[in-house]
Amino acid sequence: MVNILSKLADACKMQDPVSTEVIPDRPSNANCPQTAEVIKGRRFPINHIGKQASADLLFKIADVINSEVHKEKEKRIDLKSLPKECSGIKPSIIKQGVLREVKDGDDIVSYCRIRMKQDPGKSPKYTLGVKNFSKSEESEVEISKDTFDSFYPDNLDKPQSKKRFELDSGWEIDQKDDGSIVAEFEYKNKNEIEIPESFDLKEGDQEKTSSFENELMKLSKISKFKALKKNEVPLTPEEHAEVMKRKATWNYSTESGPSSAVWKSVDKKTGKTTYITHTHRAYNTASTLKGAIGRYHSFIKGTA
């Protein structure tokens, strides 16, 4: 995390001497041995945010180095609309923006952001956070309201506000001010991830993971798909009729007519039934036939 923060500090250096001023070193009694490495001689913008706010923020960045590091792996998907589970839930209000990003080509390796989060019925909480995507690490410390107000929104990149709905399933739904809707699920093992049937997936939803994680994900999905295929069982006549009725079919040029785009797998150990719809590019699963039919129409059909 120290190297990432050093890069962030370097990225924050300004070239125009008129709009910058050197921030002094942290007091010698600071308990962070890396402070000088991160702070000494750095130049930060002070035209609009002021010298004190810049200095306070630098000290907070140094504090992040010593704060607890949280391992965070997230599944992110784009949705077309708010899931029905959001109705009746009072959302948290979040305002945030990026101080600086560290990139490797087009991939974001790490970023430093400022955030205000107000949970329902509670006072706002202001934080400075650093994320390291390649290591799935996040560290966060509290900052003052004055520091937040000095930066948000005019002195931050990608400022945004959003509503966050926290579902009982563990999914968090963000409704952003630009109208986009993103679902996030924090996990330790990818087997924990189960996309609710009520989610109306946006075609071509993307996950913010590293290329290495994407490769692991592909291998995991291939292994899971093979297991499902091994336990495939025929649809019942009633299930097959429902698939035909709702046109979840592949219309190949055969004498037998359309074929079902949904099939069924039953785990021999647990008895769990899973419905699957797939193409050579992707597959989706659901615990009900209705859910699988919905996945076919909302996503899988478009990958054929």
Residue 183 forms part of a structural domain: yes
Model pLDDT, residue 178: 92
Nearest-angstrom CA–CA distance, 278 and 47: 55
Nearest-angstrom CA–CA distance, 53 and 49: 6
Residue 215 forms part of a structural domain: no
Model pLDDT, residue 27: 39
Helix (H) / strand (E) containing 55: helix 51-66
User: Where does a domain end: 69, 89, 111?
Assistant: 69
How many domains does the chain divide into?
A: 3
Same domain for 82 and 139, yes or no, is yes
The neighbouring-strand residues paired with 71 are: 137
146 contacts: CB under 8 Å, gap ≥ 6? 53
> Of the candidates 67, 218, 191, 79, which has an alpha carbon nearest to the alpha carbon of residue 137?
67
Model pLDDT, residue 63: 56
Residue range(s) defining the domain that contains residue 45: 2-69
Residue 213 forms part of a structural domain: no
User: Where does a domain end: 38, 53, 69?
Assistant: 69
Nearest-angstrom CA–CA distance, 68 and 1: 11
Model pLDDT, residue 200: 87
Residue 6 forms part of a structural domain: yes
Model pLDDT, residue 70: 62
User: Where does a domain end: 20, 40, 69?
Assistant: 69
Same domain for 74 and 143, yes or no, is yes
Strands 232-233 and 262-266: antiparallel
Per residue of the chain (304 residues), give pLDDT as tens: 445 444 444 444 433 332 333 334 433 333 333 333 333 333 334 344 454 555 455 555 555 555 566 666 788 889 999 999 999 899 999 999 998 887 777 777 788 899 999 999 999 999 988 887 767 777 888 889 998 998 899 888 899 999 999 998 889 999 999 999 999 988 877 777 788 878 888 765 544 444 444 544 554 555 678 888 889 999 999 999 999 999 999 986 556 678 999 999 998 888 999 999 998 878 888 899 999 999 898 888 888 7
Same domain for 84 and 185, yes or no, is yes
Model pLDDT, residue 28: 36
Same domain for 86 and 60, yes or no, is no
